[in-house]
Amino acid sequence: MRPGTILKYIAASVCIASTLAISVTNNQEDVEGFFNKNKSGSGHTNNWAVLVCTSRFWFNYRHIANTLSMYRTVKRLGIPDSNIIMMLADDVACNSRNIFPATVYNNRGRYLDLYGENVEVDYRGYEVTVENFIRLLTGRVTKETPRSKRLLTDDQSNIFVYMTGHGGEEFLKFQDAEEISAYDLGDAFQQMYEKKRYNEILFMIDTCQANTMYTKIHSPNILATGSSKLKESSYSHHDDPDIGVAVIDRFTYYVLEVLEKIDMQSKATMKDLFDTYDPALLHSTPGVRDDLFKRPLDQVLLTDFFGNVQNVELTELNDQASSQTEIEPAPEEAGEPQVMEPQISKENHSSRATQTSRHHDHTFEIGDPSRSQTMRYVAFVALSAILGGALFAGSSVL
């Protein structure tokens, strides 16, 4: 054990001892304190994670690796499998092109097999549809849906929603066949809010123009973050020459870099995570939206969403009011709502030039984005009119 750790333990024990001493002297107040603390803190008693990879096909290996990496992280930080809903649109581990069968790696070094021995994929392959995703969130599943495919959250649940795939302005593509719009997502969250299905939500999305996906969310207590702003692509981090495709996306890579360093006892906050966002490294402008979120970000622990750290209460018999431990610090009044958008500094151009790894651009757009929507309609109507006119002329000639 390192001396630093020992010191930390000693400090912790001193804190606890003093807390307990107080609780002995004034139990009633402490009981109140437990709940008050809970109220002003995160106020959650359980954690859930919804991890969605929406892309099919072998060349989208990295999206599956992204999702599985997040799965491993939240599981390591204590969210049980029963509280993780994972949607994977394809099974690259068993793809015939995978030269390391039954494995998924998120790094060229192949240090860690993400697929491992203990992975529970709840929705797989063609089950990953927009409809199923919205049903899952809103709870409108059919009667015969098994428990593992239900999001059984309540008013004290903190939910981490992670999505990755190919997207565009206000939409995310599912399976190359359909797409979910930012409006659908906003509506789904609103319905969850109406039915008190969450306490707080962290919405994280890694896709092109990701930040547009959270613009239509309007329900309270939702914190959102995305990998790139409007008209901007998100890029992959690096590829593995043996696997032959990119293995992880930049945004997810750097988020994981932070998360890998924390454990269940960590006191790292959301602000710490957001401060590490570096547009130069990401090659895109990540965004944070916290105007719907009530607590200041420097008092929101990462484990409030990525982990499963709860208040516990020691049980005492003989009718004594029980003493309890508190995990979350009590935050103060929420600060000014604001949307943080770290700006790209001048330096990033040079760093981008020196970047040697391959970038996979996953922009997905219909038509020319520079032309406005109305122009498209005008053009369309004009085309139709010409067509109609031609038809009419033809008929009149006949």
Partner 1 sequence: MILLSVWFVVLLGLPFWWKTTRVYRAELPNEDIEQWNEWMTCQPTFPITINLHLTSSVDSIPASTGIKDGIEKRVQELNANHISKAKFPVKFVTDQAWSGSKEGDISDRPSAIPGTYDFYISPGSDTIATIKTHRQGFIQVESWDEDHIVGAVTEIFNAIFGTEQRVIQQLVHAADTRGAEKVKDQLKAVKYAPGYQLTFSLFSGDASNGVREWKIQEAINAYLTPVLKSMSVVSTFTVESQVQHYASLTFTPQLDTDQKEYYLTPNSLPNFINAAEWSLASTVTSLPSLNFLTYVPKPSESPLVIKSGPSSLRSKTNSFLIPRWGGITILNRDNDTIASPQVITEKELKPLMKVFLTQLRDLMGLTDLSAVKASFPIIFHKASNEVPTAWELDNLLRRRTAENLVDSLATLTSLARLVADTPNMVVLDHIQKDVVDALKDVERSCQRLSEQQYVEALTASRDALVKAETAFFDPTMVSMLYFPDEHKYAIYMPLFVPISVPLLMAVLRELKKHKESKKALAEKEEEEGDKEEDKAKKE
- Give the residue numbers annotated as catalytic, written as ranges: 166, 208
Q: Is 40 among the residues that bind partner 1 (CB under 8 A)?
A: no
288, burial (CB in 10 Å: exposed 0-12, middle 13-18, buried 19+): buried
Helices 130-138, 182-194: axis angle to 10 degrees equals 20
**Contact 137/187 with Cβ under 8 angstroms?**
no
CA pair distance 115, 162, nearest whole angstrom: 18
Please report how close the Cβ of residue 74 comes to partner 1 at its closest, in angstroms. Answer: 9
Choose between 43 and 286: whose C-beta lies nearer to partner 1.
43
Please report how close the Cβ of residue 134 comes to partner 1 at its closest, in angstroms. Answer: 6
Binding piece for partner 1, criterion CB under 8 A, among 57-65, 129-137, 207-215, 294-302: 129-137
Applying CB under 8 A, among 94, 177, 312, 339 the residue interacting with partner 1 is: 312
Q: Is 155 among the residues that bind partner 1 (CB under 8 A)?
A: yes
| 3-state per-residue secondary structure call for 38-77 | HHHCCCCCEEEEEEEECCCCHHHHHHHHHHHHHHHHHHHC
Applying CB under 8 A, among 61, 232, 308, 344 the residue interacting with partner 1 is: 308
Choose between 261 and 349: whose C-beta lies nearer to partner 1.
261
Comparing CA positions, the residue from 170, 99, 178 lying closest to residue 131 is 178
Binding piece for partner 1, criterion CB under 8 A, among 90-98, 159-167, 288-296, 388-396: 388-396
Choose between 150 and 238: whose C-beta lies nearer to partner 1.
150
Strands 222-226 and 287-289: antiparallel
Residue list 344-383, contact with partner 1 (CB under 8 A): 373, 377, 380-381
**H or E element in which residue 200 lies:** strand 200-206
Residue list 165-204, contact with partner 1 (CB under 8 A): 181, 183-184, 187, 190-191, 194-196
Choose between 31 and 340: whose C-beta lies nearer to partner 1.
31
Torsion of CA 119, 197, 129, 204, to 10 degrees: -70
Choose between 74 and 93: whose C-beta lies nearer to partner 1.
74
Applying CB under 8 A, among 13, 350, 357, 372 the residue interacting with partner 1 is: 13
Q: DSSP code of 301?
A: B
7, burial (CB in 10 Å: exposed 0-12, middle 13-18, buried 19+): exposed
Task: Say which amino acid occupies 28.
Answer: Q
CA pair distance 171, 200, nearest whole angstrom: 23
Angle made by CA atoms 63, 241, 102, in degrees to the nearest 5: 55
Binding piece for partner 1, criterion CB under 8 A, among 58-66, 127-135, 223-231, 279-287: 127-135
Q: Is 334 among the residues that bind partner 1 (CB under 8 A)?
A: no
Please report how close the Cβ of residue 283 comes to partner 1 at its closest, in angstroms. Answer: 31
Q: Print burial letters for 38-75: b (CB count within 10 Å at least 16), e (below 16).
A: bebbbbbebbbbbbbbbbbeeebbbbbbbbbbbbbbbb
Judged by DSSP in three states, 260 sits in coil
Binding piece for partner 1, criterion CB under 8 A, among 77-85, 86-94, 236-244, 342-350: 77-85
Please report how close the Cβ of residue 287 comes to partner 1 at its closest, in angstroms. Answer: 22
Choose between 209 and 303: whose C-beta lies nearer to partner 1.
303
Residue list 85-114, contact with partner 1 (CB under 8 A): none
Applying CB under 8 A, among 66, 138, 153, 233 the residue interacting with partner 1 is: 138
Going by C-beta distance under 8 Å and a sequence separation of 6 or more, which residues neighbour residue 15?
none
Choose between 49 and 270: whose C-beta lies nearer to partner 1.
49
Report in angstroms the alpha-carbon separations of 396 from 97, 230, 389.
Answer: 59, 49, 10
Q: How many residues bind partner 1 (CB under 8 A)?
A: 81
**Contact 253/237 with Cβ under 8 angstroms?**
yes
Applying CB under 8 A, among 22, 33, 40, 76 the residue interacting with partner 1 is: 76
Applying CB under 8 A, among 94, 177, 264, 375 the residue interacting with partner 1 is: 264
Please report how close the Cβ of residue 127 comes to partner 1 at its closest, in angstroms. Answer: 15
